[in-house]
Amino acid sequence: MSVVNRRPWWLLPPGRVNPVWWVVLGAAMLSIEYWLGPSVHYPVVYVLPVSLAAWYSGRWTAVALATAVPALRLALIAAQPGPSGTDYSLALATVARGAVILVMGLWFARLGELERELSHRVVTLEGLLPICAICKNIRNDRGEWERLEAYISRRSEAQFSHGVCPTCIESHYSGVLGKG
């Protein structure tokens, strides 16, 4: 029975996306909020484009989006007629939400970087490896026998160093070294 390595359901799929898509999504959400008016707030929806931008397009895209959206929202608040006290509290809330969204974006960017680094470093050899019981050479896909070190080095970034374990020293070199 083989175990299939699958990504967890909660982990976003790997890949990169052009940052323009996140700018378009952020602008769409900002325009929806503008048309709903200043009394209706959905600040949580800004976490979505910033987090996705951080994961798929990197830290700087997320930072740009997390600062641009609240700045544009502040401009929209200033452009709409209304009492100045309400504008001040809306502006303060927008700045606070923007800071939280920025932190979330940086967090997602770091998680995305870590996931890409881990997936780059993890190399899994799966299936049966036909290996000689005596010399430990491995039969490759072409049917040729090659050294274990060469086989693994070609399929990973592993490097080998060689030494002799105490058991092999005892069994192979006990006569040469002599006891005494």
pLDDT tens, residue order, the chain (180 aa) = 344 556 666 666 667 778 788 778 877 877 777 777 656 566 667 788 888 888 888 899 889 888 888 888 778 777 776 665 566 777 788 788 888 889 988 998 998 888 888 777 665 666 778 888 888 899 988 889 999 888 888 877 788 888 888 888 888 887 776 654
Q: CA-to-CA distance for 79 and 140, rounded, in angstroms?
A: 70
Do 31 and 72 belong together in one domain? yes
Do 61 and 143 belong together in one domain? no
Do 28 and 103 belong together in one domain? yes
Whether the model clears a pTM of 0.75, i.e. scores above it, the answer is no
Residue 1 lies in a domain: no
pLDDT digits (tens, 9 = 90+) for 152-161: 888 777 888 8
Q: Are 58 and 48 in contact (CB under 8 A)?
A: no
Q: How far is C-alpha 118 from the geometric centre of its chain's CA atoms?
A: 8
Residue 13 lies in a domain: no
Do 105 and 31 belong together in one domain? yes
Do 25 and 114 belong together in one domain? yes
Provide the 3-class DSSP secondary structure of residue 77.
helix
Q: How many domains does the chain divide into? A: 2
pLDDT digits (tens, 9 = 90+) for 132-159: 888 889 998 888 999 988 888 887 778 8
Do 117 and 29 belong together in one domain? yes
Do 35 and 92 belong together in one domain? yes
- For tokens 């007629």, the residue is 81
**Structure letter (DSSP) for residue 145:** E
**Residue 142 structural domain:** 138-177
What pLDDT sits at residue 2?
42
Do 111 and 143 belong together in one domain? no
